Amino acid sequence: MISYISIIVATLSIMLSKHLFKKWFNPLSLYAVVWGGMTYLYGLRLLPYYEISSHAWILIVLSYLSFLMGTVIVFNARNAFFTSEKEAIWNENEFFLFHNDGKNLKILVLVLGLLGLFAALQHWYVLVKEYGSVTQVFIRAQRVYHMKNVGTESLGEIPYLWIFSYISVFFAGIYLAFKNKLEIVVLLPIIGISLKSMATFTRSGILFGLLEIVIAFVLTKYVLSNKNGRKNKKNKKIIFAAVLLAVLMVGSATVVKMARQTMDKSITGKSSSMNQLDGNVILSPAIYFYLSSQIVTFSSYLKTENEFHLPFEYTLFPLYRVLGKFDLVKKPNTHSIGYNTPTWSNTATYLRNLYSDFGYTGIILGPFLFGLFSSYFWVAIFYRKKLIHIVYLTFIMISIGMSFFALQSQVTLWISIVGAAVIIKFFENKYFLPIISKVNVK
């Protein structure tokens, strides 16, 4: 019954989103796919999950309705936000990054990508030096993963330099949409992200990077196709690029999964269908568990609510982490408390973070603001010619795409979007643009 209801609600939401946003891929359709897909998979009950409490279902429904309300309000009050009745026509020549047939943008992707790739390789160098060989690193994958979760980084690793890969991959998505073909420079940040994720044996960074390049690419294609005389063609080059990027990132996630293969064995009470999928690369018990267990963990969390946190710890996690380095506050845990579903899990959707920080107010206000701001910036990129709006919307949509996992403000990867925003604001600076214009005239 739950699976059928999930399909109906998700389908109706996607149809409504097409009516409002005029595009199939949008914040509301993404939210519907993520949460509809998760509840649908839970409803299949291929694992003997605990029953989700009525309390949890009420909060899930409330959050969904709040997101929907925030979305609808923007479109009903569009005229109050945007005085112009016509959508703006994007002219690439008005943006410094698009000058010289995108060469400026290409250089930016290259420089940032090389910095991120260097960070990933340097991390692997430290690991190999510590464990003796690449093979030994993979053999001790669980230990490396545990060290990362408890905040014990490998000695000698350069901190935070790897974030440049995530800044680069954002601009790589824009560059891919602008050139309408795959170039080697686009693969550079993807390789950096994949190597870094394999060095920590985590998959959330790969998902973040994949969402980042896809969303930046799609949004840029949307606004550029809005330009007179430019058609949004679906050619073989773009299809090839999409397939290659997917293969690289899924392949990296598969390597991580195989290195941490104990997960499949730890899942209890698997059905006969799940037992037949043991070791399957595409859909294994572990993958099914990762895609469907979060709402069960959220329900288990609500039954206890015995966690102690600093005020608004999840929302202000980056701030507390910096303050903790100077012993001004207790260092926040990088690894959330886990619960049995009956299999142990510590990811309980972004609703856990919102509820822990703000209670019922967070459950209602958090999704409402996600719906409100994602819809606002969606309209803004069509009515106001500013690349910064693509940055903001990309981050919000990444948060929506990973809402089944956790609130993304607690992950340091959000710094990549801040970095992208700073770079764009620098190049759009009123003091910088006149200088560039003179150079291009010469």
DSSP element (H, E) containing 16: helix 2-21
pLDDT in tens, 392-401: 999 999 999 9
Distance CA 56, CA 44 (A): 18
Q: Is 344 helix (H, G, I), strand (E, B) or coil?
A: strand
How many C-beta atoms lie closer than 10 Å to residue 150's C-beta? 10
Q: Is 227 left (phi over 0), alpha (psi -120 to 50) or beta?
A: beta
Q: What percent of the chain has pLDDT over 90?
A: 37
What angle do the packed helices 349-358 and 294-304 form, to 10 degrees? 20
**pLDDT tens digits for 371-406?**
999 999 999 888 877 888 999 999 999 999 999 988
What average pLDDT score do residues 42-46 get? 90
Flag whether the pTM goes above 0.95.
Answer: no
Provide the residue ranges of all domains of the chain, joining segments of one domain with +: 2-81+293-411, 92-260+430-441
Let me know: does 347 contact 406? Beta carbons within 8 Å.
yes
Q: What is the per-residue pLDDT for 434? A: 45
- How confident is the model at residue 337, as a pLDDT? 83
Highest mean pLDDT among 70-84, 241-255, 341-355: 341-355
What is residue 72's predicted lDDT score, i.e. its pLDDT?
94
Alpha helices in 77-98 (DSSP H): 78-81
pLDDT digits (tens, 9 = 90+) for 96-150: 778 788 888 999 999 999 999 999 999 999 888 888 888 888 887 777 776 665 5
The pair of structure tokens assigned to 66 is 């709040």
Helix axes 294-304, 27-44, angle to 10 degrees: 80
Mean pLDDT for all residues in the chain: 81
Residue 374: per-residue pLDDT: 96
Question: Does the pLDDT at position 235 exceed 70?
Answer: no
pLDDT at residue 231 greater than cutoff 60: no
Q: Above pLDDT 70, what percent of the chain?
A: 76
pLDDT at 74 exceeding the cut of 50: yes
**Six token digits for residue 202:** 């985590």
φ, ψ of residue 345 to 5 degrees: the values are: -155, 145
Are 295 and 39 a contacting pair, CB within 8 Å? Answer: yes
Average pLDDT over residues 403-418: 77
- pLDDT over threshold 80, residue 438: no
**Residue showing tokens 């190597």:** 195
Q: How does DSSP assign 126-139, residue by residue?
A: HHHHHHSSHHHHHH
Mean pLDDT of 190-205: 85
